Structure 1
Amino acid sequence: MVRFLAVLLSLLVAGGASVAQDTKAIIETFQRNFVRSSLGTKLELLREAAGYEGVDMGPLYETAVKFVLGNANLLESDPVMRDIAIVSAQMIRKYKYAPAAESLWDMFQTFRENAVRVPILQALGDTAQDNPRLIERLNAYLGAQTTLFRSGSQPDYPTLEACIEALGRLGDGSSFPVLFSAFVAGYKADLTRKAAEALAGLKGDYHGYLIQVIERNTALEKRAALDAGLSNQNFTGDQRAALAEAALTAGIQYSSGNAVETEAVRDMRYTAVRELTERKWQRASPAAIRHFYDVLSLYNRSQAPKSALLEAVACLGSMGTPEAAQTLALYLQLINTETEQGKVFDEQIVMAVIRNLGILGDKVAFDYLLYIGYLKYPDSIKKAAKDALQNLKW
């Protein structure tokens, strides 16, 4: 039977123009004989059909995939059935036969062997371009595997690599978060390189993708995304500032009982604050104020270094907003009150607050700067207060 079909196909191909007219008939002939034949003959027929050029045999291999799906419960462990699945996936990839993509995904879920799963994923990488639902499923699969890896499970590396490569070929921007997660997960070097290559192949807004990671992903990934963005020489100053704003906002909202994650988020916030200070990014003023109060609270409990508080003060000074000025003025009022009560003050912190109030130049600080002259501060602080008073705008 297979030889007869081969002769028939050869004659039709040799007919030139008649091939276009009879393609449907050729495929239907193969499909009918595939359905009628034994399991071993089915595989032979599929392999025979794979050797011919000039006819898109995608529908035949989709028929074979549906046969596999319809009989998987009975024959899943059969080696011939497995080979039918593999050949079908390989040929669907060859013909880039997109109508079979959904069935390929169903077959992927049916088999657990990477010998079958890898060619299926390779085929999906060439057939699912216009199928957002399938891309979402591939994203979900990769994300779940990375989560399992982080929990200590050993991944199926061949399948994982094929999934990453498929997403890279598809190039859909929605894959950025899961590919970035794979990139920073700590996989072996070859897989990390594959993830980097897949990321480079994505279409769309790389800056926007980084912000998505900062807003949605784990603590370590948030920090890695900010570092990647700030080190990108192609980004403008405004783009880096926007990344820093997103990181500071996400960091303020983040809460975790995990010490490693908490430390990663704090480091991210400190990095973001330095960038925002340099850029004088006024849009981040609300986040900078919240960050200041958080750091002040941590510093008072000996849970944050003085450098972090000084940087938070400098960030407020760079904001140039009335709200930032009011925040620092109220803090100076508190320092003055405590100093008047005989409490010990930190000269470096007091000087930083005064200096940044002078930079802001908001008259809301007038009373508190003036009052410094009546308290037991050293001359250096009193002089700094006088200089700041002269910078106030009326």
Structure 2
Amino acid sequence: MNRCFNRCFNRCFNRCFNRCFNRCFIRTIIALACTSCFASSAPLRIQFVKGNIVDKTAAVRESSGEDAAFLSKEAIDFALEHKVLLGNDRDLDTLALAGVLALPANSVASLDYGEREALSEKFVKLFSLFPSDTVRIAILNKAAALRDSLPTEPCIVLLNDYLANAVSSAGENGVVKAAVRTLGEIGDSRSFSVLFTARRQQKWPEYGKDIDEAIALLADKSLPQVIAVIREGNVKNGIRPLFEVLIKNEKISASFKSEIAENVLSETIYIANNASSITRETVSLQVDALDVIVQNKWTRSAPAVLSFFDLAEREYKAGVMTDGEFVKAINAAAEIAPVDASSRLASYLAALNRQTESGAKVSETIALALIGALGRIGNKSSFDTLLYVTYVN
């Protein structure tokens, strides 16, 4: 009985022990294998954790894929955490730079909104805490590259304030140039005002082309601000330079250019009608705006074009408008507002005919332009006038 019991007990015990031992052994082996695999697959992360700042920087620079996504964020966090303690330390600057440059776009796109917002705020802190031009330029380039993933508001506010308060200085300033270009890509209407003010003040003439390009890129987001500049009525320092920037830029649509030209024409008509004398500068701008309207067949501006023809008569008579410019006003009225223009053109042609009858000399260029315009319009009243003039002549 005892023997039987002992045999059964021993068999059960051995079986249970062996099973438990085997399971534990296998689990231990698996755990050790996993640990070994993790350690062997993450040497750069280990190097970052254990190493000094130079080692950390090297690990970030050598990283790619998931390691780059992880280590770039770790580097940025480390740089922010220890900046106050280490001050303007070159090694820390280099680590911060490596972290910004290594940040993969696909890893940012996979973050939730809160994480992306936090990353954008970290960029702002890095820019504010690190005076290194190299670090700041890298931050701005990365912010522009990630504009479709990162919330842009923190960076826009930062750069608007930076450029508004930056002091004009001679020579190269790479951070200013990068800030201007970045605002051109991610900025808003506030940025437009900051940049146009900088242009007026000639704060950075060496970056004039960059500023003009950024202003043009922001114009369609800033129509109220554009109109406000035009409504100021300052032809030399406001309307003319803004008009040149927007009209000459090939990236701006024809419809937007036409809308700007219409507003410029309307404002300069108002200026001329309320000035004691009309300047050549104003007339030249009026004609340039008219050219854009005609080129783009912007019929919506018909009232302004007709008003300009009435003004152009006086400007031509006063000697501040050339024959060629007045011909443009005649042709524009006929093309943009033919129905309403026909009576005005016919009336002016009849007036020229009366002057001829009284022995006064009139411009053949203007007379021919009127006849040609009326002929293109082709309504009956115009035909009657042409017939009468032909008969008299």
Find out whether 1:383 has 2:390 as its counterpart: yes
**2:341 aligned residue:** 324
Q: Which of 227, 250, 255 is the equivalent residue of 2:263?
A: 250
State the distance in 2 between where 1:47 and 1:79 align: 14
**Cα displacement (A) at 1:323:** 1.9
Find out whether 1:12 has 2:38 as its counterpart: yes
**Cα displacement (A) at 1:280:** 5.8
State the distance in 2 between where 1:336 and 1:222 align: 38
User: Which amino acid in structure 2 is aligned with residue 349 of structure 1?
Assistant: I
**Cα displacement (A) at 1:340:** 8.8
User: Which amino acid in structure 2 is aligned with residue 89 of structure 1?
Assistant: V
Question: Structure 2: which 5+ residue stretches go unaligned?
Answer: 1-33, 110-115, 230-237, 273-278
State the distance in 2 between where 1:9 and 1:294 align: 86
State the distance in 2 between where 1:271 and 1:81 align: 55
- Native 8 Å contact 1:142 1:163 kept in 2: no
**2:328 aligned residue:** 311
- Native 8 Å contact 1:332 1:350 kept in 2: yes
**2:101 aligned residue:** 90
Find out whether 1:129 has 2:165 as its counterpart: no
- Native 8 Å contact 1:58 1:91 kept in 2: yes
Q: Which of 222, 236, 244 is the equivalent residue of 2:243?
A: 222
User: Which amino acid in structure 1 is aligned with residue 97 of structure 2?
Assistant: I
State the distance in 2 between where 1:72 and 1:384 align: 91
**1:159 aligned residue:** 175
**Superimposed CA distance per residue, residues 104-132 of structure 1 (whole angstroms, 9 cap, x where no aligned partner):** 13322333331221222233243332235
Q: Which has the larger radius of gyration?
A: 2
Alignment of 1:98-113 (within 5 A): 99=116, 100-113=119-132
**Cα displacement (A) at 1:297:** 3.8
Q: Per the alignment, do residues 63 and 247 of structure 1 end up closer, same or farther by CA in structure 2, a change over 3 Å counting?
A: same
Query: Secondary structure of the equivalent of 2:148?
Result: coil
Find out whether 1:115 has 2:134 as its counterpart: yes
**Cα displacement (A) at 1:326:** 3.6
- Native 8 Å contact 2:76 2:99 kept in 1: yes
Alignment of 1:59-78 (within 5 A): 59-66=70-77, 68-69=79-80, 76-78=87-89
User: Which amino acid in structure 2 is aligned with residue 248 of structure 1?
Assistant: A
**Superimposed CA distance per residue, residues 165-195 of structure 1 (whole angstroms, 9 cap, x where no aligned partner):** 7679xx77979989x999xx99769x96999
- Native 8 Å contact 2:147 2:186 kept in 1: no
**Cα displacement (A) at 1:249:** 0.7
User: Which amino acid in structure 2 is aligned with residue 291 of structure 1?
Assistant: F
Query: Secondary structure of the equivalent of 1:116?
Result: helix
- Native 8 Å contact 2:121 2:154 kept in 1: no
**Cα displacement (A) at 1:139:** 11
**1:301 aligned residue:** 318
**1:376 aligned residue:** none
TM-score normalised by length of structure 2:
0.57
User: Which amino acid in structure 2 is aligned with residue 48 of structure 1?
Assistant: A
**Superimposed CA distance per residue, residues 75-111 of structure 1 (whole angstroms, 9 cap, x where no aligned partner):** 5434444334323322335886463233113322333
Q: Per the alignment, do residues 278 and 220 of structure 1 end up closer, same or farther by CA in structure 2, a change over 3 Å counting?
A: closer
State the distance in 1 between where 2:372 and 2:36 align: 88
- Native 8 Å contact 2:47 2:59 kept in 1: no
State the distance in 2 between where 1:195 and 1:245 align: 19
Task: Indicate the larger mover: 343-352 or 80-89.
Answer: 343-352
- Native 8 Å contact 2:73 2:103 kept in 1: yes
**Superimposed CA distance per residue, residues 125-150 of structure 1 (whole angstroms, 9 cap, x where no aligned partner):** 433322352597299659958x989x
- Native 8 Å contact 1:317 1:357 kept in 2: yes
State the distance in 2 between where 1:195 and 1:313 align: 33
- Native 8 Å contact 2:156 2:186 kept in 1: no
State the distance in 1 between where 2:36 and 2:303 align: 74
**Superimposed CA distance per residue, residues 207-236 of structure 1 (whole angstroms, 9 cap, x where no aligned partner):** 989x9999798633533543455xx9xx9x
Q: Per the alignment, do residues 263 and 345 of structure 1 end up closer, same or farther by CA in structure 2, a change over 3 Å counting?
A: closer
- Native 8 Å contact 2:54 2:91 kept in 1: yes
- Native 8 Å contact 1:285 1:321 kept in 2: no
- Native 8 Å contact 2:120 2:152 kept in 1: no
**2:25 aligned residue:** none
Find out whether 1:48 has 2:56 as its counterpart: no
- Native 8 Å contact 1:214 1:222 kept in 2: no
User: Which amino acid in structure 2 is aligned with residue 102 of structure 1?
Assistant: E
Q: Per the alignment, do residues 361 and 50 of structure 1 end up closer, same or farther by CA in structure 2, a change over 3 Å counting?
A: closer
Alignment of 1:226-237 (within 5 A): 226-227=247-248, 229=250
User: Which amino acid in structure 1 is aligned with residue 123 of structure 2?
Assistant: L
- Native 8 Å contact 1:247 1:268 kept in 2: no
Q: Per the alignment, do residues 95 and 366 of structure 1 end up closer, same or farther by CA in structure 2, a change over 3 Å counting?
A: closer
How many corresponding residue pairs?
A: 327
Task: Indicate the larger mover: 213-222 or 152-161.
Answer: 213-222
Query: Secondary structure of the equivalent of 1:112?
Result: coil
Q: Per the alignment, do residues 108 and 347 of structure 1 end up closer, same or farther by CA in structure 2, a change over 3 Å counting?
A: same
Query: Secondary structure of the equivalent of 1:55?
Result: helix
User: Which amino acid in structure 2 is aligned with residue 356 of structure 1?
Assistant: A
Alignment of 1:21-60 (within 5 A): 41-42=52-53, 44-53=55-64, 55-60=66-71
Paired-residue identity, %: 18
**Cα displacement (A) at 1:313:** 0.6
